[in-house]
Amino acid sequence: MLSQRGRYALKALLCLARRVPEQLGVAAIAEQEAIPRKFLEAIMTEMRKARIVESSRGAAGGYRLARSADQITFGEVIRQTDGPLALLPCASRNFYRRCDDCPDEAACVLRQVMARVRNEVSEILDRTTLTDALNGVGPVSLLDERAPGPTP
């Protein structure tokens, strides 16, 4: 599940993407996106260290995207804020760790299923940029999904 930190990071970056080439201060972003200011300050510091945003000081200072919005993906941001996308450490590509209780990783059905889940999730998140989200373009649209009906 996406953490509150991840949600706030994405909301703040989308706010900046809507306002390119302007810089916005933390207070303005926090107010526009209903994010607690202190929490946002920590998130933006993390985004700056990850080179997703740039900052400048002074009266006209603030934050702006370090790259074009079409070069920043949801996957990159979520990995930065929340860590691995995989639900099991043994199914992670970037944060692999063997499970302590697994006698045979190669035959583990849980690992196989979770690796497929990770592949699907990462494919969508790594293909979806801030620009895609702002334009309502992406691999999946909630408007295209149909609510499940009663099972006959």
The predicted model scores a pTM of 0.83
Q: Is the pLDDT of residue 107 over 80?
A: yes
| Long-range CB contact pairs, 74-78, < 8 A, 24+ | 74/10, 74/125, 74/126, 74/128, 74/129, 74/130, 74/133, 75/122, 75/125, 75/126, 75/128, 76/52, 76/126, 77/6, 77/9, 77/10, 77/13, 77/47, 77/52, 78/2, 78/6, 78/10, 78/125
Q: Which residues contact 59 (CB under 8 A, 6 or more apart)?
A: none
pLDDT at residue number 73: 97
Q: Is the pLDDT of residue 84 over 90?
A: no
Q: List, in sequence order, the alpha helices (H) in the chain.
A: 4-18, 26-33, 37-49, 74-82, 109-127, 130-135
Query: Structural domains in the chain?
Result: 4-65 (1.10.10.10), 84-135 (no CATH)
What count of other Cβ atoms lies within 10 Å of the Cβ of residue 12? 24
Q: Is the pLDDT of residue 30 over 60?
A: yes
Q: Is the pLDDT of residue 149 over 90?
A: no
Is residue 141 classed as helix, strand or coil in its secondary structure? coil
For residues 128 and 100, give the distance between their C-alpha atoms in angstroms, rounded to a whole number: 34
- Mean per-residue pLDDT over the chain, rounded: 88
pLDDT digits (tens, 9 = 90+) for 35-44: 999 999 999 9
Q: 70 and 14 in contact (C-beta within 8 Å)?
A: no
Scanning the structure block, which residue is given the tokens 């944060």?
95
Q: 32 and 15 in contact (C-beta within 8 Å)?
A: yes
Q: Is the pLDDT of residue 50 over 90?
A: yes
pLDDT > 70 fraction of the chain, expressed in percent and rounded: 90
